[in-house]
Amino acid sequence: METQSCVRSMRCVCRTCQRAARRALCRRARLEPEGNIVSDHARIKGHTVTRTVHIEASRASVWQALTDPEVMAKWFGDGVGFAALEPGATGSIDWDDYGSFPIEITEVVPDDSFGFRWSGIPAEALDEYSTHVRFTIADAGTGTDVTVIESGFDSLPGGTRYRRDRLEQNREGWDVELDELAILLEGVTE
């Protein structure tokens, strides 16, 4: 049995993804005819987390889900709010179990890209623990590809171990959050 480790790359060979693909527990992992496991789990490269998912939904629907606070709260956090949809606007993404994480919008290109800085710890305002999140969307077949890139982990205070832990926590988080986005927009029920 293959025991090679991975960071959930596009050709993931870890036992978790193999098991998930075989049992269809991971809705995004699949077994190719050649026997390769293909997974779109978020991956870490350097000090950046990246994940791309294909969603069978229109570009306009995806854009609304990424930028409308009411829709965002259905897949990303328990509550989302920001003053305006423009660079410099501030707000927060809130989780009942974790607290309120301040954000500042950095980029808005309608139907193309959306970016914000957010704190990695519950806080009143952005601080040195913040990283940058950027979503891009593109037409792909009958649906839309959504890519999230989170960067800035290399400049976080707290040392190498803290930075690596945050990278891994956020990588796992994007696996969950983007799956929830796909489930919401594709109307999939579990």
User: Tell me: the pLDDT tens digits for 25-70?
Assistant: 344 444 445 544 445 677 777 789 999 999 999 999 999 999 999 9
Q: Which amino acid is at 86?
A: E
Domains of the chain, first to last: 1-41 (no CATH), 43-186 (3.30.530.20)
* Cβ contact 164:154 at 8 Å: no
Mean pLDDT (whole number) for 172-181: 94
Q: Tell me: pLDDT of 2 over 60.
A: no
The pLDDT, as a whole number, for residue 189 is: 53
Mean pLDDT (whole number) for 7-11: 37
Is the whole model's pTM more than 0.75, yes or no? yes
User: Tell me: the pLDDT tens digits for 132-157?
Assistant: 999 999 999 999 999 999 999 999 99
Count CB neighbours of 77 within 10 A. 19
* Cβ contact 85:69 at 8 Å: no
User: Tell me: the pLDDT tens digits for 82-133?
Assistant: 999 999 999 999 999 999 999 999 999 999 999 999 998 899 899 899 999 9
Exposure string over 146-156, b if 16+ CB within 10 A, otherwise e: bebbbebbeeb
The pLDDT, as a whole number, for residue 40 is: 63
